[in-house]
Amino acid sequence: MGRVTRPETGRRAVIVVACAMGMLAGPALGAASAQPAPPDVPPGGKKPSLEQVRKEIERLHDKAGSATDAYNAAEAKTKKQQKAIVKIAKKIDDTQGRLDGLKDTAGAMARAQYRQGGMPDEAKLMLGNDPESFLRDVSLVRKGQHATRGFIGSLTSTKTKLDRYAKSATDEWKKLEANRKKKARAKKKIKSQIARAEGMESRLAEAERKRLRELERQAAQAAQAKWLKSDAMKKLKKLGKGAGTASPAGKRAIAWATEQIGKDYEWGAEGPGTFDCSGLTMKAWAAAGKSIPRTSQEQWKSLPRVPVEKMRPGDLIIYKKDASHVGIYVGDGALLHAPRTGRQITVEGAGTMPILGVVRPDK
């Protein structure tokens, strides 16, 4: 007799696999891509100064950076859950096949008993007339009973396992949907903050934009000069060059990252043509043979920390209170990083932004 198909669970497994594989290509986020119009002049009609514009643009990009980390975290979880769903779906399909086979066997056993008159083996044994065959068949009946109990147990456990896999798939699907919504919200926020920042800059005259760039350069220069005079940097300099030498893996990470200089920043990107800040650091250390988390917040949370005054080239410097930015320290007070939207991967002063701490991937 051919294998009996159980369409309900079979369809469920196929649907789960198809949907999960479809989302691996990247789920659409619909309305999340809408970009709001840039803000107007503040109430009262007074035009903000260029310094106020600079600070506001910086604040907006900071918020976009935080949202980018939230997006990347949700994306990493989504990928993990997609793989889990595919794995569970395959288990469902395999277990359903085993259950179908056991049910086919049960049907064959029932038909065989029917052909024999429906009389249990124990009754046939008791009604027999041959004493010698009675003793021989007692053992066979016991073996048959044991096999039947084992078969029923296997049938029950397989059905229980199938139900458990189905529940696991449902739970993972709910988590996946929740993270897709988180991604959509983060994407909307990123686009909103960037649109506002770009809108503010676009309304400036050419001469004002040049002056804005000069103000940004001066602010960065002042922050770097202050940092170089900090106690942490004084201690780092006292340790000498030997203490600040990159490890072999650190050298490979820096070399790889250096090759990316000049490429555009793009939020959510991890190469090869564009990167965001943590996408760059993750790929640089992957090139050095070390797997590290995808987001700057996870890099800060899970990688070994070292004091700023003891950092060495190749270490990752984590920035801002919410750990939403990261770059690679390359020595001599310099940082290699992917700054923000509208900028390219570059090397600049490591003290131009507020430092949260330092982590060492290969400690």
| Sheet (strand 334-337) strand order | 305-306, 355-359, 316-319, 325-331, 334-337, 346-349
CA distance 345 to 337: 6
Residue type, 131: P
Catalytic site includes residue 146: no
**For 180, how many CA atoms within 13 A lie in the half-sphere containing its CB?**
16
Q: Which DSSP helix (H) or strand (E) runs through 290?
A: none
Tally of CB atoms within 10 A around 358: 23
Contacts of 54 (CB under 8 A, 6+ apart): 212, 215, 216, 219
Q: What is the DSSP letter of 344?
A: B
Structure tokens at 349: 């002063």
C-alpha atoms less than 13 angstroms from C-alpha of 52 in its C-beta half-sphere:
6
3 state SS of 126: helix
C-alpha distances in Å from residue 289, one per residue of 166, 252, 261, 292, 296: 37, 9, 20, 10, 19
Nearest to 246 by CA among 297, 285, 286: 285
First CA to last CA across the chain, in angstroms? 63
Q: By three-state DSSP, how is residue 342 classified?
A: coil
The answer to whether 19 is a known catalytic residue is no
CA distance 7 to 9: 6
The residue with tokens 């990123």 is 190
Which tokens is 323 given?
């750990």
- Angle of helix 248-258 relative to helix 277-287, nearest 10 degrees, comes to 130
H helices within 116-205, ranges in order?
121-127, 131-202
Tokens of 144: 């048959």
- Block residue for tokens 């350069």: 217
Annotated active-site residue 337? The verdict is yes
Active site amino acids? 277, 325, 337
